[in-house]
Structure 1
Amino acid sequence: MSSTPGTTPGKLPFVVWVLAAGTFLMGTTEFVIAGLLPELSGDLGVSTSKAGLLITAFALGMIVGSPAMAMATLRLPQRRTLILALTVFSLGHVVAALSASFTVVLIARVVTALATGAFWSVGAVVATAAAGPAAATRAMGVMIGGLTLANVVGVPIGSFAGQYAGWRSPFWALAALSALAAAFIGRFIPARKQRATVSLRAECGALRHGRLWLALTAAMLIMGGVLATYSYLTPLLTDRAGIPEAAVPLVLVAFGIGALGGTTTGGRLGDRRPMATTVVAAAATALVLLLLIPLSTNPVTVTTLVLLMGLTGFTVNPVVTALAVRFAGEAPTLASALSTSAFNVGIAVGSAIAGTALNSTLGLTGPPLVGAVFAALTLLPLTALAASGGGVRTARIVGQRTAPHGAVLSPGQAAEGGRPVERVSSTTW
Structure 2
Amino acid sequence: MSTRGATLHAPAETVRADNPEPSSARLPLVVHVLALGTFLMGTTEFVVAGLLPEIAGDLRVGVARTGLLITVFAVGMIVGAPLMAMLTLRLPKRLTLMLALGVFAAGHVVVALGSSFSLLLAARFLTAIATGAFWAVANVAAAHAAGPAARSRALGVVGAGAMLANVVGVPLGAFAGQLMGWRGPFWALAAASAAAIALIARTVPDDGPDRYTGSIRSELTALRSGRLWLVLAACATTTGGVLAAYSYIAPLLTDRTGLAAGLVPLVLVGFGVGALAGSIIGGRLGDRRPHTVTVVAAAGAALLLMAIVLLAGSAPVTVVLIGLLGFFGLGANPVLMALAVRYAGRAPTLASALTVSAFNLGTAAGSWTAGLTLDSGLGSTGPAVVGTAVAALTLIPTLTLALRRHRRTGAASRSAASVHADQA
Aligned match for 1:290, one of 296, 306, 316: 306
Residue 349 of structure 1 deviates from its aligned partner by 0.1
- What is the CA distance between 1:153 and its match in structure 2? 1.1
Q: Specify which of 71, 78, 84 is matched with residue 93 of structure 2.
A: 78
1:189-210 Cα distance to aligned partner (Å, 9 max, x none): 4656312222111111132111
Counterpart of 1:90 (choices 87, 96, 105) is: 105
After superposition, where does 1:15-414 map in structure 2 within 5 Å?
15-128=30-143, 139-189=154-204, 193-195=208-210, 196-387=212-403, 389-394=404-409
CA 1:298/1:327 → structure 2, altered by over 3 Å: closer, same or farther? same
Aligned-partner residue type, residue 163 of structure 1: Q
1:382-426 superposed Cα distances (whole Å, 9 cap, x missing partner): 233234x1355259xxxxxxxxxxxxxxxxxxxxxxxxxxxxxxx
Cα distance in structure 2, aligned partners of 1:391 and 1:149: 35
The farther-off stretch of 166-175 and 131-140 is 131-140
**How far off is 1:133 after superposition?**
7.8
Shift of 1:22: 1.2
Higher helix share: 2
- Single out whichever of 201-210 and 345-354 deviates more from structure 2: 201-210
Q: Is the 8 A contact 2:152 2:284 kept in 1?
A: no
Partners of 1:391 and 1:318 in 2: CA distance: 21
Q: How far, CA to CA, are the matches of 2:145 and 2:237 in structure 1?
A: 33
What's 1:424 paired with?
none
Q: Distance in 2 between matches of 1:257 and 1:385?
A: 29
Deviation, structure 1 residue 21: 1.3
Q: Which moved more, 1:265-274 or 1:22-31?
A: 265-274
- Please give the root-mean-square deviation of Cα atoms over the aligned residues, in Å: 2.3
| Unaligned stretches of 5+ residues in structure 1 | 396-429
Query: Hey, what's the Cα distance between the residues in 1 that align with 2:335 and 2:153?
Result: 15
Residues 1:12 and 1:315: Cα distance change in structure 2 (over 3 Å): closer
User: Which residue of 1 is the match for residue 14 of structure 2?
Assistant: none
- Quick one: higher RCO (CA 8 Å, sep 6+), 1 or 2? 2
CA distance in 1, matches of 2:263, 2:386: 25
CA distance in 2 between partners of 1:223 and 1:204 (Å): 24
| Paired letter, 2:213 | T
Aligned residues: 391
Give, as a single letter, the amino acid of the residue that structure 1 aligns with 2:56.
S
Deviations 1:51-81 (A, max 9, x none): 1111111111111111111111111122322
Where 1:261 maps in the other structure, the secondary structure is helix
**Greater shift after overlay, 184-193 or 104-113?**
184-193
CA distance 1:3–1:325, shift in 2 (3 Å): closer
Q: CA deviation at 1:140?
A: 3.6
Amino acid aligned to 2:359: F
Contact 1:86 1:182 (8 Å CA) reproduced: yes
Q: Secondary structure at the match of 1:206?
A: helix
C-alpha change, 1:357 and 1:273, in structure 2 (3 Å) is same
CA contact (8 A) 1:228 1:354 kept: yes
Q: Structure 2 CA distance, aligned partners of 1:59 and 1:221?
A: 14
**Counterpart amino acid of 2:104?**
F
Amino acid at match of 2:38: T
- Percent identity between matched residues is 60
Letter in 1 for 2:216: L
Q: State how far apart, in whole Å, the 2-side matches of 1:91 and 1:287 are.
A: 40
Which position in structure 1 is the counterpart of 2:2? 2
Offset of residue 374 of structure 1: 0.3
How far does residue 300 in structure 1 lie from its aligned partner after superposition? 0.5
Letter in structure 2 aligned against 1:368: A
Distance 1:319 1:126 in 2: 16
TM-score under structure 1 length normalisation: 0.85
Q: How many Å apart are 1:302 and its aligned residue?
A: 0.8
What is the identity, as a one-letter code, of the residue corresponding to 2:2? S
Q: Deviations over 1:85-127 (max 9, x none)?
A: 1111001000000011111111111100100111122233344
Q: 1:153, 1:85 → 2: CA distance?
A: 23
**Matched-pair contact (CA < 8 Å) for 1:237–1:248:** yes
* C-alpha deviation, 1:239, in angstroms: 1.3
* C-alpha distance in 2 between matches for 1:277 and 1:138: 13
